Structure 1
Amino acid sequence: MDETANLPLYKLFIKPIDLKELKRNIWIDEPLPAQLRIDGKRLEIDVAFRGSHIRDFPKKSYQVTFYKPKKFMGSRQIHLNAEYKDPSLIRNKLSFDFFSEIGVLAPQSRHVFLTINGKDEGVYLEIESVDENFIRRRDLPAGSIFYAVDGDANFSLMSDLEKETKKSLKAGYETKWKDSQLAEFQLQELIYKINTISPLEFEREIPKYVNVQQYLRWVAGIIFTSNYDGFVHNYALYRNGESGLFEVVPWDYDATWGRDVNGKIMEADYVPITGFNTLTARLLDVNEFRRQYRMMLQEIMSDQFTHDYMMPRVEKLLDLIRPFLSDDPYKRDHIDLFEGEPKVISDYIEERRNYLFSKLHKLE
């Protein structure tokens, strides 16, 4: 791989015995020491596989934690996603960029080329970790961050996994960062209030806990990208320590823009315009919030979710990674599929727009 090319080259070095151990049991979360070289810099790191079902794929995804130095480019931790089931390799980044453009906090990301012990592993997506540095990098007020780790992060008192009452109000969440000892209590209070505020008081009371405008923009982002799991999984919660309000940050958006989690074509009407989860349902039950949401959808369909706006962005990302596919051992035999992705995404945008226009009346 040519180091002068315009895709950053990440050289990962792991002791052969450690690499063998990593591959022996892919479900071990314990990180192993390694070295990462970027732009001539030698970084001491810990590395582990990341994800759940994606660990079974031939092309692995990795979580990298810096320990010497403690940070690199302002990050303590980064994620290297293989994007194995996405023939385009761009859907995750396309989605994060889209969320940012419609006014939602989203991780920064960029494509890189990864080698391990000198062997080409291919094109990866480096994704910023949503942690305390995510907050600092944006000059946001200090606050707490919780990851939605499974379907129980559905803003409900009922378990999405067990189909019974949750054993804990924290079920479905993992604390990533907390700015006070009250952080987990505040998360539990949020879930409790979402489910117990009376219908008569909901419009007045819920804005004391949730940044409603931001939440509705996040819902709109899911609706346009069609992330089926987005409402109960694939997000982080950030509690702004200054306002005391919770905001939502998207995460893992490779199964979007017309392809599902298995890389298969997804029907444009698969994700309903009203979404699903308890908080979304309660918000859209309020006339004023539903009106605001409808206006957001119309605004975004006019400005960003159009063929003319999105397709140049699609083509720019594809053009960036295209020269590197012949060196990606997992993609070099599927370049024809890659070249067909602009049409898949373009067709999805057209069909999704038609579906959404046909359902806007539901929000009147």
Structure 2
Amino acid sequence: MVFWIAMMGTVLLMALGTGCGQEEAGGTPEPGPKEGQFAFPALQTEVPLYELTIPAETMAKFEANPYEDEHPATFVFAGKSYTVGVRLRGSSSRFFPKKSWRIEFPKGTEFDGRRKHNLVAEFQDRTMMAEKLAYDLMLAMGLPAPVTKYVRLSINGQYQGVYLDIERVDNSFAKAHGFVDPDPTIYRCGAKDCEMKLWRTDYQQDWQKETNEEKEPGKDDIRTLMTVINRAPEPDFPRMLGENLEVERYLRTLAAEVLISNNITEDSQSYLIHDRTTYKWTYVAWDLNNADSRWWPTYGLGMKPVANHPLFPFSLADAWVEKMYLKRNTRPDFLPTFSNLTTRILYNPELREQLFAVVEKSLDELFAPAVIEPRLDAMHQLIAPYMDADPYLLLNDVGQPDPDGLAKFREGLPFLKAYAKQRTDFVRRELERLRAPPSTLRLQAVSPGEGWVELHNPTGQALSTAGLVLTTDLRRTIPTLRHPWSSTVLPERRVPPNGTVRFTRQELGFTLPPEGELGLFDGVSVVGVKDVFFYAALPSGGTYARGSDGSHWEAR
């Protein structure tokens, strides 16, 4: 898929906020970041020990049922005891040998500034650094992202190893990260979702309202946001999105996910926070250990970094969408899963170039070798003294011996440095490619009322429409998925260089809805996208068409 940017002079980077502090690396501190520069937050200097005492009968219940409810336990730190509630946390991680834990202190009691703590085992990452790096990147970009801290954990006197304590996203999080509203409304996207669509399939779960359910029953607020995301007319999309969403924050989140190669967003149950004072929403990414920057336990010594994951994960630009669809397609109604919001941003010239600029800024200021390598050195040196005693490091994810576990951790540092270098090179090449002029047919004009669609050939050679799929459901893009009442396989039509071709309602064989989405695909891959277009209803006789610059859409 190729995007086109009409470039006029030099692209200027936006003023993108301040960093979040400077590295604590020992010795004389480096000069602080310049105004507007991204900078990593200070790294902790010690790894504290948390001790849990959990009754034997409770441990037996957790063993028998990983989804067992919370039970009382005793938490000890620096000689001080607290009565807390504990349970296992995570999804598939509940079944790994090294468990992840949720600890909740009583109401009115906070530990380290919070009542609720997520102790994540990071068992599927032999580097033990990929998820912390992801959250620290987001904090470095000035995002309201969970603060993380390495800790050691002992349960009933038995050392469990190093964990990552991840800040929970709740009202305390909103207060700590400067939301204006003291009581914002927080949602989590449901299981197998995070798609930012107006409808979901029956195997997906609805948005989960975490706060203000009694004050504001129902979910009209988030449905309004989804309507803007999916139905704002393309000419007005940047403005309308900016009135409802903290767009710059979202673009920075996408940039961070590009750097780490995030890859399974639909399982993340990430958050949307509605600040009812500013009237804007903020997306907060969660579950960032699913990234190609990690070292899976099943891979052996000498693992090579996977640095060529397509840019902008969980969008129609991401070939991983098809990979996950093929992997999880276990029922006839299963459909490809991707974000409409990210996809729309990529097909809007204004927002797309803003996103590209943030990605380039993050590469320059966070992934440059002089920045990322000392950061990785410091993280590795912080936890390395405590890894030899980790009883789970020599096990794989099904509990079988992994005698190379410790060696993999030690190789994790050069592995991540190589990943950062290779990822940087790959991302820069991809941005250059994506900025090239279009080389395929694309949508040129759409008349929902009259039911016709016009395609344009922007290249210097004739192109054919044979086999292409035109669809009003971006999830149904190949013949085995398509519905005849919402899509068609186009017949052979030769489109001359810089020429157009129009398909009438009769030729299409289906009726365009008054408002919705429209996509042109190669008919082979579920992500074989050539162009997409989202639109709102128009007055009678209205038409959407590309303007004279050949890029932006206009309503006529």
**Is the TM value for this pair above 0.5?**
yes
- Structure 2's unaligned 5+ residue stretches are 1-44, 316-338, 395-402, 437-556
Residue number in structure 1 paired with 2:420: 349
Q: Counterpart of 1:175?
A: 209
Report the equivalent of 2:36: none
Query: Structure 1 pair 151/68, CA: closer, same or farther in 2 (3 Å)?
Result: closer
Which of 316, 321, 324 pairs up with 2:378?
316
- CA, structure 1 residues 172+320, in 2 after alignment: closer, same or farther (shift >3 Å)? farther
Question: Does structure 2 conserve the Cα–Cα contact (< 8 Å) formed by 1:257 and 1:348?
Answer: no
Q: 1:186 aligns with which of 195, 216, 221?
A: 221
Change (3 A) 1:263 1:198: farther
Which stretch shows the higher mean deviation, 113-122 or 304-313? 304-313
- Displacement after TM superposition at 1:139 (Å): 3.5
Return closer, same or farther for 1:262/1:160 CA change in 2, 3 Å cut-off.
Answer: farther
Query: Is contact 1:225-1:257 (8 Å) kept?
Result: yes
Alignment of 1:145 onto 2:214: no
2:47 is aligned to: 7
Q: Quick one: distance in 2 between partners of 1:297 and 1:192?
A: 27
Q: Output one character per residue of 1:110-163: Cα deviation in whole Å (capped at 9) or x when no partner.
A: 11111111111111111111101111223422212222342222101353775x
- What's the offset of the Cα at 1:231? 6.8
Determine the C-alpha separation between the residues in 2 that align with 1:349 and 1:215: 22
**Distance between the aligned counterparts of 1:258 and 1:19, measured in 2?**
33
Q: Measure, in 1, the Cα distance between the counterparts of 2:367 and 2:146.
A: 20
Larger Rg: 2
User: Could you tell me which amino acid in structure 2 is paired with residue 190 of structure 1?
Assistant: L
- Can you give the 5+ residue segments of structure 1 that lack an aligned partner in the other structure? none
Correspondence 1:259 to 2:276? no
Report the equivalent of 2:16: none
Distance 1:260 1:319 in 2: 18
The answer for the alignment partner of 1:44 in structure 2 is: 83
Distance 1:308 1:172 in 2: 44
Distance 1:69 1:114, change over 3 A: farther
Q: Does 1:227 align with 2:280?
A: no
Judged with a 3 Å threshold, the aligned counterparts in structure 2 of structure 1 residues 202 and 263 are, in CA distance, closer, same or farther, namely: farther
Q: Is the 8 A contact 1:154 1:160 kept in 2?
A: no
Out of 94, 97, 100, which is 2:133 matched to?
A: 94
Q: CA deviation at 1:67?
A: 1.0
| Range moving further from structure 2, 265-274 or 216-225 | 265-274
Where does residue 299 of structure 1 map in the other structure? 361
Q: CA deviation at 1:106?
A: 0.9
Distance in structure 2 (CA, Å) of the matches to 1:223 and 1:80 = 25
Tell me how far apart the structure 2 counterparts of residues 25 and 231 of structure 1 sit (CA, whole Å).
25
The count of residues paired between Structure 1 and Structure 2 equals: 352
User: Which amino acid counterpart does residue 22 of structure 1 have in structure 2?
Assistant: F
DSSP-derived class of the 2:342 partner: helix
| Partner secondary structure for residue 245 of structure 2 | coil
Equivalent residue, structure 2, for 1:78: 117
Counterpart CA distance in 2 for 1:83 and 1:274 is 21
Q: Say if 1:303 and 1:309, in contact at 8 Å, map to a contact too.
A: yes
- 2:284 & 2:136 partners in 1: Cα distance? 12
TM-score, normalised relative to structure 1: 0.89
In 1, the alpha carbon distance for the partners of 2:247 and 2:196 equals 14
Q: Deviations over 1:139-192 (max 9, x none)?
A: 422212222342222101353775xxx7xxxx4432222384167321121112
Letter in 2 for 1:39: A
| Segment of structure 1 superposing worse, 82-91 or 194-203 | 194-203
Q: Does the alignment pair 1:26 with 2:60?
A: no
Specify the alignment match of 1:236 in structure 2.
Answer: 271
Aligned to 2:105: 66
User: Pick from 221, 238, 241: which aligns with 1:203?
Assistant: 238
Whether the 8 Å CA contact 2:132–2:148 is kept in 1: the answer is yes
Normalising by structure 2, we get a TM-score of 0.60
Provide the residue aligned with 2:93 in structure 1.
Answer: 54
CA distance in 1, matches of 2:98, 2:274: 35
Name the structure with the higher helix share. Answer: 1
Report if the CA contact (8 A) 2:105-2:116 is conserved: yes
Residue identity in the other structure for 2:407: D
Aligned-partner residue type, residue 214 of structure 1: R
Separation (CA, whole Å) in 2 of partners of 1:160 and 1:261:
31
Q: State the distance in 1 between where 2:313 and 2:193 align.
A: 20
Output the CA distance in 2 between the equivalents of 1:219 and 1:199: 21
Letter in 1 for 2:185: S
Per the TM alignment, residue 51 of structure 1 is displaced from its structure 2 partner at its CA by: 0.6
Q: Distance in 2 between matches of 1:125 and 1:13?
A: 19
- What is the match of residue 283 of structure 1? 345
Q: Secondary structure at the match of 1:123?
A: strand
Kindly provide the CA deviation profile for residues 251-281 of structure 1, in whole angstroms up to 9, marking residues without a partner as x. Answer: 2222336237766566212232475110011
Kept after mapping to 2: 8 A contact 1:155/1:279 = yes
Compared CA separation, residues 105 and 160, structure 1 to 2 (3 A) = farther
Q: Secondary structure at the match of 2:216?
A: coil
Percent identity between the aligned chains? 26
Partners in 2 of 1:274 and 1:62 — Cα distance?
A: 28
Q: Report deviation, 1:312.
A: 1.1
Shift in Å at residue 71 of structure 1?
2.2
For the residue of structure 2 that corresponds to 1:327, the secondary structure is: coil
SS of the residue aligned with 1:126?
A: strand
Does the residue aligned with 2:106 lie in a helix, a strand or coil? strand
Instruction: Give, in whole Å, the separation in 1 of the partners of 2:298 and 2:225.
Output: 35
After superposition, the C-alpha distances for 1:7-60 in whole angstroms (9 at most, x for unaligned) are: 2111101111111112111122x1011110012221111100001111110000
Contact kept, 8 Å, 2:194 with 2:270, in 1: the verdict is no
- Residue number in structure 2 paired with 1:115: 154
Whole-angstrom CA distance in 2 between matches of 1:340 and 1:208:
47
